[in-house]
Amino acid sequence: DAKTTQPPSMDCAEGRAANLPCNHSTISGNEYVYWYRQIHSQGPQYIIHGLKNNETNEMASLIITEDRKSSTLILPHATLRDTAVYYCIVRVVLDDKIIFGKGTRLHILP
């Protein structure tokens, strides 16, 4: 699996866009970028995934650079309920060996 690097924590004002970066400089051609988040005391929640094109769903947008060495998860209008730890995972497919690293702890400030 390609290694990912994320900042340990970030702050974002409520109502603003939260941009969470992830570096994955050793990503290989068939590896996807997956994003999950875990709100305190709850199970991990799938957010979005992509291969090389930018992706958008009802929760977030995923921007992947052209060289695929980094990506950004965008929460367009952050709310207090978006306070969580966000994990970037790079793999071909997610199987039983899914590993969550340290992730980014996102604090939404009122």
CB of residue 16 to another protein, shortest distance in Å: 27
Distance CA 79, CA 14 (A): 5
Q: Which residues bind another protein (CB under 8 A)?
A: 32, 34, 41-46, 49-51, 92-100
31 versus 82: smaller Cβ distance to another protein: 31
CB of residue 9 to another protein, shortest distance in Å: 17
Nearest in space to 59 (alpha carbons), one of 39, 43, 75: 75
Q: Do 104 and 6 meet the contact criterion of CB atoms below 8 Å apart?
A: yes
14 versus 83: smaller Cβ distance to another protein: 83
Using the 8-state DSSP alphabet, how is residue 81 labeled?
G
Residue 80 three-state SS? helix
12 versus 85: smaller Cβ distance to another protein: 85
